[in-house]
């Protein structure tokens, strides 16, 4: 059996111990990907750096609730604000930043090939206030404001806005699906779990349709919670899973259709740990996982625009 990156780097804990650790540190402590080297802004730094929509990469500095916040936008070659494009919000691990998830996921390259925008928001102190970690910032509000800028300034299609992320960023994807359900058509959490105090409430579900694709490693330290969380999601939304489809290397793909018209697709990868399947860069990448999450999640997003009532 091959050695998975996640298996080599993480220790499996008992459920009770893991729950306590998650509450304290978020996703069992730090992930293996580190944030890029950068200096915290000084008090004399500019308060805002407005975006100028154009092709390529752009770092945007803005002020949100009295604090400087940063996000990066990648637009494909030939981009013009005269044409509405889909937009993907990609969220990093803890600790991490937008540059880390951009490098790990390869989403900017995918955006160039498939003609969509990607936004990479930075969490404060290298993390997001997601379901079990990290901090107390209103990251949902910040990301909603960022999406508003994408749809107004960059002319992103409001019916084709999606979210993905790994670990802390995956948890944030689930949180956005519930608390910003009006903005996101679908989410694709990678190596994360729908767990924590908020998801323990049966009423904590999207109030409008949001489809989900998720990737769960059999050797991931959060596997039990990830399995339980997606099962809870399906039960609350009256989703009916079809028999699992067997893929290579004992990987399974399970698709479910839900009462509200959404889809839930789960890739279970028994040989993978806490990683991004198919990624060839970064210590959280697993090039031998057997599937490519970036390719699969984009195909899923493209097939799931927002369902408006």
Mean pLDDT by 10 residues, the chain (309 residues): 41 34 41 48 46 95 95 98 97 98 98 98 97 96 98 97 98 98 98 97 97 98 98 98 96 98 98 98 96 98 89
Q: Which residues contact 123 (CB under 8 A, 6 or more apart)?
A: 91, 92, 94, 96, 97, 129, 134, 135, 137, 139, 168
For the 5-30+48-302 domain, the top CATH level (class) is alpha beta
pTM (2 d.p.) = 0.87
Please identify which residue in the block is written with the tokens 């996000």: 71
Between helix 139-152 and helix 168-179 the angle, nearest 10°, is: 70
- What distance in Å separates the CA atoms of residue 171 and residue 191, rounded to the nearest whole number? 9
* pLDDT confidence of residue 6: 42
- What distance in Å separates the CA atoms of residue 206 and residue 179, rounded to the nearest whole number? 7
């Amino acid at each position: 059996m091959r050695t998975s990156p996640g298996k080599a780097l993480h220790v499996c804990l008992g459920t009770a111990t893991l729950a306590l650790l998650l509450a304290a540190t978020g996703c069992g402590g730090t992930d293996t990907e580190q944030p890029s080297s950068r200096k915290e802004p000084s008090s004399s730094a500019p308060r805002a750096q407005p975006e100028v929509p154009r092709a390529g990469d752009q770092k945007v500095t803005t002020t949100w609730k009295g604090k400087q916040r940063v996000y990066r936008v990648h637009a494909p070659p030939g981009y013009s604000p005269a044409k509405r494009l889909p937009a993907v919000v990609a969220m990093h691990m803890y600790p991490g930043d937008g540059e880390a998830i951009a490098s790990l996921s390869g989403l900017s390259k995918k955006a160039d090939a498939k003609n969509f925008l990607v936004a990479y928001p930075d969490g404060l102190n290298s993390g997001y206030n997601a379901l079990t970690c990290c901090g107390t910032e209103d990251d949902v509000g910040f990301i909603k404001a960022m999406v508003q800028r994408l749809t107004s300034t960059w002319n992103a299609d409001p019916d084709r806005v999606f979210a993905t992320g790994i670990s802390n960023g995956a948890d944030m994807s689930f949180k956005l699906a519930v608390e910003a359900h009006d903005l996101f058509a679908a989410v694709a959490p990678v190596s994360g779990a729908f767990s924590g105090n908020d998801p323990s409430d049966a009423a904590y579900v999207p109030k409008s349709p949001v489809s989900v694709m998720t990737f769960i490693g059999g050797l991931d330290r959060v596997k039990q919670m990830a399995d339980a969380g997606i099962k809870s999601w399906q039960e609350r939304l009256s989703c009916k899973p079809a028999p699992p489809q067997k893929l290579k290397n004992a990987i399974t793909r399970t698709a479910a259709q839900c009462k509200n018209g959404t889809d839930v697709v789960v890739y279970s990868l028994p040989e993978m740990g806490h990683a991004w399947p198919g990624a060839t860069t970064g210590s959280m990448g697993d090039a031998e996982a057997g599937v490519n999450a970036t390719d699969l999640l984009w195909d899923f997003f493209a097939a799931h625009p927002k369902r408006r009532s």
